Structure formats: C-alpha cells, structure tokens
Amino acid sequence: MDFQLSPQHEIFRRTVAEYVEKQVMPRVPDMEARGVWDADLFRRMAELGFFGLRYPEKYGGASADSIMFVIFLEELGRGYMSLAAAAMMQCLMGTNFIYRFGTEEQRERLLVPAIRGEKIGTIAMTEAGAGSDLGAITTQAVRDGDDYVINGGKSWITSATRADFFTVAVKTNPDPKAGFKGIDMFLVEKGTPGLTVGKKINKVGVVASETSELTFKDVRVPKENLFGGKEGFGFAALREMLNEIRVMTGALGLGLARAARDESMQYAKQRAAFGRKIGDFQAIQHKLADMEVSIELSRQMVYYGAWLIDQKLPCNKEAAIAKLYATEAGVKAADEATRIFGAYGMAMEMTPQRLFRDGRFLLYGGGTSEVLRNIIAKEMGM
C-alpha cells in the first residue's frame, strides 16, 4: 500500500486546518455558552465546498474520495466536536439517502441546496426503546393509496431543531420476526402536517450540537418518499452506509485525540512543579507517548478503512475496528489530558474538560463499543 497522501490531500488538510484554527476555535467559547453552533461557520463550510465533498460535481459537489472526507472530519473534530457532529450529519447521514436513492427532483430540490448550506438535513433512527437494537423501532409507515402514513416517535435526533428534511427509519413490516429486515427509510420534510419537533435535549457534551425528539402523528407522505421505491429495501441500504459512518466517526475520534495531545503537550511545557517543568517528568512523558501511539494506530485504521471504502472492498470488520479503536483512544486521551492538567482539568475555561465531555458522544453513534466487538467477533468466525 502507498501510505503517502497526494499533494491534493495535503493542500486540502492545510485548508481545513486553517479554517478550524482561524475561524472555528476562536468562537468555541461563545458556542459553548449559547449551546448552539454558529450559523455563519456552517455557511462558510458550504462556501468552502466541504458539504459537497462526497457528491458529484453535477450537484455542486467535489467528487472527492473518502480519504478527503476523513481529513475534513479529523481536522474539524480536532477543533470543535459540536460543529463536527452537525457537519458530518449534513455531509453523510442527512443527505446520503437522497443522493443514492432519491428521485432527481428530490436531489435538485433538497440535496443541491444542502450542499450549498441553504438547507439542513438529518437522519432519524433512534427511539426511546431502540438504539443499538434498531430492529426494535416501533415507528410505523402504513400504505394508504398513493401515500404512506407514519406514526411514532424518535429521540436523540441531531440538528432536528434546524433541519429542513429528515431521513426517517420506520417499520413497514410490523412482524416482530422481521426485525431489521422490516425497516425502510422515508423522506419527511419540515412543515409536513403531523410532524412535531420536540424541545432540545440538554446534554453533558457536544452541547452546541442541538439534539431533539420528533413525533409523527398521521404524517402523510407520497410513495415517492420511500427510498429505494419498494418495501424491504431500507435495511440493506442502511447496512451499507454503516461502514462509512463507523470509519468517519473514527476520524472524529482521531481528531479528538490530537486535540488532547496538543493541549497536554503545551501545558506540560509551561507548568512547573517541584522546581521543574512537568513535561520533564517521566510519568507525564509516558502519558504523552501513549497518546501518540494511540493517534498513530488510530490513523492507520481510519485511513485504511477509508481506502477500503474507496476501493469498494469488504470492510465490515475493518470499519468496526476503526470506530472502536479510534473513539476509545480519543476518550482515553481526553481523560489523560485532564490528569495532566490536574485540578485545572476541571476548570470550565480550560479545554480538557470539554474534550472529556465531548468524547462521550463518539461512543454511541454507529454502534457502541460492545456492539462493535460483537461484529468483529462475528467477522472472525465466532
């Protein structure tokens, strides 16, 4: 394998890093205080072409590879996880089904404006009683002539308060034995009668990534809003996208670990104790060395997973490993940063406490660490 990034990749990394350092990071305290991400930053990402990275030029995209998308999320995750969560939703989960399975009219009306940052999309899968066990969802869609009628509720929906359209996971086959195979995905637009966006959920981390509940009461959508055009198609399409979600979530974990390392190194070179800089103590150096090891190993798995996706090669195991290792490594690095900072690691004006809180977000979406271990074991033949 060629482990060298292309000149285009390197130039793109510098572009994203500059955007993060000059425009995002200075606004983090304000976004944390207000509990919402900055709409101007969101629009600026669209202007820079970030939202269209994965999509063809005919829709205003860049036709970039998965490596480019990993670079984007790694650098944005290094800067501010709340904004990174909203951007990943906009670039991947919130728009992917429209691009791959929507009608041309839906792409022109929703995907193109989303790439320009004029509309916001999100995905609605999780329910109060169905997270990792997605087959247990109870929201249903029933065919009624040329329409489907949706009833049920969703929870923990990213950007729901700002979204213009939703990709909604529902049961079209309510038979409990159908499980995952009874799931289909529907397009539901903001303002559709019967769709209600609930209040924002207050969270300990990623506080500026707005998360809310949704309620569907006799929500009527045309049959054209069934992605794939036929019942029973949804789970296979969702399963294919899960590998991308896992690799890209791993990229966010990699960015978090880098942020924790950078903060820790800077502090260790400045803070003095017992007549020496704390970075001179072997105990601190070992913590930093362990961070570096986890960063390098995370990078190998995340970028390898992206490469496999680009080559259209099987990567169920590799994607699960990338997400499992990189997110756990990010959480561990953030924890170590708070230890290196000591009591200051708990101070709200210092960065480590935010990294520590935000890292929890990475452990759930795309499969918990326990579910990922089950997948890896199954891929091993167990």
In a domain? residue 302: yes
Identify whether residues 20 and 66 lie together within a single domain.
yes
Residues 221 and 256 in one domain: no
Tens-digit pLDDT profile for residues 185-209 = 999 999 999 999 998 899 999 999 9
Residues 152, 169: Cα–Cα separation, whole Å: 11
Instruction: Label residue 289 exposed, middle or buried (CB < 10 Å: 0-12, 13-18, 19+).
Output: exposed
Whether residues 125 and 100 fall in one domain:
no
pLDDT, greater one: 89 or 236:
89
Asked if residue 369 and residue 294 are part of one domain, the reply reads: yes
Here the CATH number for the domain that contains residue 17 is: 1.10.540.10
317-328 pLDDT, tens digit per residue, is 999 999 999 999
**Residue 239 pLDDT grade (very low, low, confident, very high; cuts 50, 70, 90):** confident
Confidence of residue 181 (pLDDT cuts 50, 70, 90): confident
pLDDT value at 1 more than 70: no
Least confident of 64-73, 143-152, 229-238, 314-323: 229-238
Write down the mean pLDDT value for the chain: 95
Low-confidence winner among 15-24, 80-89, 176-185, 257-266 (lowest mean pLDDT): 176-185
* Count of residues making up the chain: 382
CB atoms near residue 151 (< 10 Å) = 16
User: Do 267 and 213 form a contact (C-beta atoms < 8 A)?
Assistant: no
> Looking at the domain assignment, is residue 103 inside a domain?
yes
Whether 180 and 310 share a structural domain:
no
**CATH number for position 192:** 2.40.110.10
Which pLDDT score is estimated for 307?
96
Number of domains in the chain: 3
Burial 7-40 (b: 16+ CB within 10 A, else e): eeeeebbebbbebbeebbeebbeebbeeebbbee
Domain-embedded: residue 242: yes
The answer on 316 and 375 residing in a single domain is yes
What whole-number percentage of the chain has pLDDT above 90? 90
Among 115, 144, 166, which residue terminates a domain?
A: 115
In the predicted structure, residue 55 carries a pLDDT above the cut 90: yes
Q: What backbone torsions phi and psi does residue 326 show, to the nearest 5 degrees?
A: -70, -35
130: DSSP letter: B
Task: Indicate whether 298 belongs to any domain.
Answer: yes
Reference 245, options 89, 131, 97, 80; nearest CA is 89
| Per-residue pLDDT reduced to its tens digit, 100-144 | 999 999 999 999 999 999 999 999 999 988 888 888 899 999 999
- Give 176 or 363, the one with higher predicted confidence: 363
pLDDT in tens, 247-260: 999 999 999 999 99
* Residues 246 and 269 occupy one common structural domain: yes
The predicted model gives 317-342 an average pLDDT of 98
Is it the case that residue 162 has pLDDT exceeding 80? Answer: yes
**Which burial class, exposed, middle or buried, applies to 371 when counting CB atoms under 10 A from its CB (0-12, 13-18, 19+)?**
middle
Least confident of 187-191, 336-340, 364-368, 377-381: 364-368
State whether 148 and 17 are in the same domain. Answer: no
Domain that holds residue 221: 121-230
Last residue of some domain: 115, 148, 168? Answer: 115
pLDDT of residue 150: 98
Secondary structure element (H or E) that encloses residue 237, with its range: helix 234-270
Helix, strand or coil for residue 347?
coil
Domain-terminating residue out of 230, 260, 276: 230
Residue 330 domain-assigned? yes
Same domain, 215 and 248: no
Q: Rounded to two decimals, what is the model's pTM?
A: 0.96
Instruction: Assess whether 87 and 129 both reside in one domain.
Output: no
**Per-residue pLDDT tens for 71-97?**
999 999 999 999 999 999 999 999 999
2, pLDDT greater than 80: no
Please say if the pLDDT value at position 38 is more than 80: yes
Q: Are residues 199 and 286 located together in one domain of the fold?
A: no
Same domain membership, residue 331 and residue 344? yes
42 in a structural domain: yes
Could you tell me if residue 2 is inside a domain?
Answer: no
Task: Check which CATH number belongs to the domain holding 284 and give it.
Answer: 1.20.140.10
Q: What's the mean pLDDT in 272-280? A: 96
In a domain, 1, yes or no: no
Say how far apart CA 62 and CA 55 lie, in whole Å.
Answer: 6
